[in-house]
Amino acid sequence: MQENRKELIGLLTLLVVLGLLYTHPVYDPDFWWHLRGGEWIWKNLSIPVADTFSFTTYNGTVSPADEIRTRYILSQYWLSQPVFYLSWRWLGPLGVILLRAGLLLLSVFALFRFLIRKKTEFSVALSLSALTGLHLAIFTGERPQLFSFLFSVLFLSGIEYLRAGEGEPKTRQRLIFLLPLLTLVWANMHSSAMVAWIIGLPYLIYFLHRQLTDRQEQRKWRNLTIIVGISLAITLLNPNTYHGFFLTFNLFQSKHLSMNTEFMSPFLQMKDMRLIYPSYLILLVVTAFMIFSRHALLLHRVLTVIFLGMSLTAMRFTPFFVLLAPMLIGPGLQQAVSRSRRRVEIVLIILAAAACLLQLSQSRSELLTQGVNHGDFPQQAVKFLKVNNPQGHMFNLFEWGGYLQWHLPEKKTFIDSRALRLAVYEDYDAIIAPSPVRPLWRDLLDTYRIDIILISGVRSELVYMLLKDPDWEPVYADQISVIFLRKPHNLVAVPAAVVLEKITESLSRLVSEDPENITWIKRLAAAYYHRKDYRNALLFYQKALALSPDDPYLLQMTGLLKNR
């Protein structure tokens, strides 16, 4: 009884700590267009087939490929987006925070429960669950993939229970019906229902093999083959049917996703962005050890290698690895280290506790907070546009598209992180990163008939081009955003010196917060250069050069400023 009480206290402590880490403010840029999409679906009671949020979606000639891609992105979340909208509608940001925390906690608890039912030692199960939960806290935003994390754990659990013949007969009978229902719901909530195929296909091969080799239980393996086969086939019952597989693959190959940090390898992120993922690294080491252990079923080792490989290619796949790998290798871990099991348990507990304390320390400012993190969004600029209501098409920062669609619905956006048309994304790139030698950006702004530009002063060189251009004038500036209007207009212009001062203040703060970030240092040097403060410009170009001694641009700028 005393032992059970200690275990209950340990589990509750873990869930409380993870709950604290999961209840930070809403921050994900993608959340806003999911919220807007959920509102549209709820009010229209139908699946969207045409975009109504961006004016560029159907601008000019739309290719059949773009049309299919647009319909795919609009429809693949049709069952999950209304859930986010209703959570927001009932409780505001708190509803979304509770939804996010609830789904993540359920995922971790489902993992823990699976390990315990597989007779895994309590301390091992708790440590592995803690490491998984801690990694989820640093990766996950408010998006439909939250459902996929939970569903992947439930799907693997269900197949494993059936394979091992565990539980009561009635429970196994329920699973026969629940697994296809689970994959049906999953396929209509998020495209990562393809993970069900990654899990299910190795099991199908395993079950077929057992049919041929295990004559005594041939019927059992045949039935399991049918159940898993139906569960996978039923994922095709979604608005995009089997086309979803090819469209998702093509989506992953697109240019804008290749530049998305989610699709960077976690090791590349740790190197280039100076980040560290301790929980992921610990699970990586434990998993690598178990892959070569004979105490894990070959089927489980194959699946572990698959999810390990996926996680190494893109940060986006690490949640599936940290959730599913412990389920596959956890039960055999204590057998593999039987001679020094107690030591391994102690090491796992210490590592999990250390990772937990580190994460609590790093996140202490956001614990038990709610609301929306407006820090990176143009909140005040949106208020300015609402009050003054300038007319015309608006060009906006890519990351702000969803935020504007929700908070400024009267203005259709140029682009958002859905990137519905890749040609528009390429034009966006040409505008936001302009070349002074070949000013294509001017022609593109004219082609799209842009009269309003809302951008960040710290993320784009475009602001400096616009300040020098006679056709454009700044009418609003703060440390986050700048608004330009095409002349003529009836608003009061903001002096260029004020705009540059705001940009410099913002970049100075960013550099002070992250003094080794070469991107911010280079941009601060450029801001001083455009203010004609050449002494400070040289100072920060030299700081950037110290971090990247072979950068030709930095060598050119430091040489130029030294010779002034």
- Measured between alpha carbons, how far apart are the two ends of the chain, in Å? 80
Are 355 and 469 contained in the same domain? no
Looking at the domain assignment, is residue 214 inside a domain?
Answer: yes
The percent of the chain in helix, strand and coil, each rounded to the nearest 5, is 70, 5, 25
In this prediction, residue 259 carries a pLDDT of 58
Is residue 99's pLDDT more than 80?
A: yes
In this prediction, residue 339 carries a pLDDT of 62
> Containing H/E element for 427?
helix 422-432
> Among 517, 502, 518, which Cα is nearest to 467's?
502
- Return d(Cα 275, Cα 271) in angstroms, integer: 7
In this prediction, residue 255 carries a pLDDT of 58
The helices-and-strands tally (H runs, E runs) of the chain is: 26, 4
Are 295 and 390 contained in the same domain? no
Looking at the domain assignment, is residue 66 inside a domain?
Answer: yes
Give the tens place of pLDDT for each residue, 8-24: 888 999 999 999 899 88
DSSP bridge partners of 485: 452, 473
Give the tens place of pLDDT for each residue, 399-422: 999 999 999 999 999 999 998 998
DSSP bridge partners of 482: 455, 477
| Other Cβ atoms closer than 10 A to 336 | 17
Q: How confident is the model at residue 2 (pLDDT cuts 50, 70, 90)?
A: low
Residue ending a domain, choose from 306, 331, 366:
366
Give the tens place of pLDDT for each residue, 131-181: 999 999 987 789 999 999 999 999 999 999 999 887 677 777 888 899 999
Looking at the domain assignment, is residue 241 inside a domain?
Answer: yes
Q: How confident is the model at residue 1 (pLDDT cuts 50, 70, 90)?
A: low
DSSP 399: G
CATH number assigned to the domain comprising residue 508:
1.25.40.10
User: What average pLDDT does this structure show over 393-404?
Assistant: 97
**Contact (Cβ atoms closer than 8 angstroms) between residue 408 and residue 378:** no
Q: How confident is the model at residue 266 (pLDDT cuts 50, 70, 90)?
A: confident
Contacts of 458 (CB under 8 A, 6+ apart): 503, 506, 507, 510, 520, 523
Are 143 and 196 contained in the same domain? yes
Domain range spanning residue 513?
Answer: 502-562
Are 330 and 384 contained in the same domain? no
Give the tens place of pLDDT for each residue, 469-521: 999 999 999 999 999 999 999 999 999 999 999 999 999 999 999 898 999 99
Are 283 and 402 contained in the same domain? no
Residue ending a domain, choose from 321, 337, 366:
366
- Return d(Cα 205, Cα 199) in angstroms, integer: 11
**Contact (Cβ atoms closer than 8 angstroms) between residue 202 and residue 299:** yes
Phi/psi for 486 (5° steps) reads -75, 140
Looking at the domain assignment, is residue 11 inside a domain?
Answer: no
SS3 521: helix
- Return d(Cα 526, Cα 540) in angstroms, integer: 9
Question: What's the gap between Cα 243 and its chain centre?
Answer: 23
- Return d(Cα 345, Cα 340) in angstroms, integer: 9
Q: What HEC string does 48-68 produce?
A: CCCCCCECCCCCCCCCHHHHH
- Return d(Cα 213, Cα 493) in angstroms, integer: 80
> Containing H/E element for 524?
helix 518-530
Q: What mean pLDDT value characterizes the chain?
A: 90
Are 187 and 332 contained in the same domain? yes
Is residue 562's pLDDT more than 90?
A: no
Are 135 and 89 contained in the same domain? yes
In this prediction, residue 437 carries a pLDDT of 66
Looking at the domain assignment, is residue 168 inside a domain?
Answer: yes
Looking at the domain assignment, is residue 401 inside a domain?
Answer: yes
**Contact (Cβ atoms closer than 8 angstroms) between residue 244 and residue 191:** yes
Give the tens place of pLDDT for each residue, 362-386: 776 666 677 888 778 999 999 999 9
Q: What is the number of residues in the chain?
A: 564
Residue ending a domain, choose from 318, 339, 366:
366
Give the tens place of pLDDT for each residue, 211-221: 999 888 899 99
Are 24 and 68 contained in the same domain? yes
In this prediction, residue 475 carries a pLDDT of 98
- Using DSSP bridges, classify how beta strands 450-455 and 472-477 pair: parallel, antiparallel or unpaired: unpaired
25-34, 264-273, 413-422: least confident range: 264-273
- Residue for token pair 């519905």: 420
In this prediction, residue 10 carries a pLDDT of 87
The maximal CA–CA distance of the chain, rounded, in angstroms, is 88
Top pLDDT among 275 and 322 is at: 322
In this prediction, residue 104 carries a pLDDT of 97
Is residue 205's pLDDT more than 90?
A: yes
Give the tens place of pLDDT for each residue, 281-311: 999 998 988 888 777 889 999 999 999 999 9
* 249: Cα within 13 Å, side-chain hemisphere: 5
Looking at the domain assignment, is residue 4 inside a domain?
Answer: no
**Contact (Cβ atoms closer than 8 angstroms) between residue 266 and residue 280:** yes
Phi/psi for 166 (5° steps) reads -90, 160
In this prediction, residue 252 carries a pLDDT of 61
Instruction: Please list the alpha-helical segments (H only) found in 81-165.
Output: 81-91, 93-117, 122-139, 145-164
DSSP bridge partners of 472: 486
Q: How many domains does the chain have?
A: 3
Are 176 and 271 contained in the same domain? yes
- Return d(Cα 254, Cα 273) in angstroms, integer: 22
- Single pTM value for the model: 0.92
In this prediction, residue 399 carries a pLDDT of 94
- Return d(Cα 385, Cα 483) in angstroms, integer: 9
User: What average pLDDT does this structure show over 432-457?
Assistant: 90
User: What average pLDDT does this structure show over 70-83?
Assistant: 95
> Which pair of structure tokens corresponds to residue 173?
């009978």
- Which class for 554: exposed (0-12), middle (13-18), buried (19 or more C-beta within 10 A)? buried
> Which pair of structure tokens corresponds to residue 404?
């504007």
- % of the chain residues with pLDDT over 90: 65
* 81: Cα within 13 Å, side-chain hemisphere: 26
Contacts of 403 (CB under 8 A, 6+ apart): 29, 32, 377, 378, 382
Are 428 and 552 contained in the same domain? no
Is residue 253's pLDDT more than 70?
A: no
Are 284 and 357 contained in the same domain? yes
| Other Cβ atoms closer than 10 A to 50 | 10
Are 134 and 216 contained in the same domain? yes
Cα torsion at 167, 170, 176, 182 (round to 10°)? -80
In this prediction, residue 511 carries a pLDDT of 95
Q: Do you find a cis peptide bond into 488, omega within 30 degrees of 0?
A: yes
- Return d(Cα 325, Cα 305) in angstroms, integer: 9
Looking at the domain assignment, is residue 58 inside a domain?
Answer: yes
